[in-house]
Amino acid sequence: MGPRTRRFVAMLGVLAFLTFWIWGAIALRGVLPPGQLIDFIVYAVAGIGWGVPLYPLFKWAEGGNKPG
């Protein structure tokens, strides 16, 4: 698979993942008790944590472990 195709597939994967990630953060916030501190914690973790699960996809999109 060429690099442009890999990046396109990765872009679609990121869009799909972020759709469900945001939906999950909002759903999680809905089941917790109300409060500004809880809002801050949930959205801060969701805002920072999205990159960790996507790291392997980014690495794959850039060519994986190919030398060079």
Q: Indicate whether 67 pLDDT > 90.
A: no
Q: What's the pLDDT tens digit per position in 30-54?
A: 999 999 999 999 999 999 999 899 9
Give the pLDDT band (50/70/90) at residue 6: very high
Q: Domain spans of the chain? A: 17-61
Q: Which residues contact 18 (CB under 8 A, 6 or more apart)?
A: 50
Computed over every residue of the chain, the mean pLDDT equals: 90
Mean pLDDT value across residues 11-24: 95
Q: Give me the pLDDT at residue 1, please.
A: 82
Query: From the CA atom positions of the chain, what is the Rg in Å?
Result: 16
CA distances from 30 to 17, 27, 45, 47 (A): 20, 5, 15, 17
Q: Give me the pLDDT at residue 17, please.
A: 95
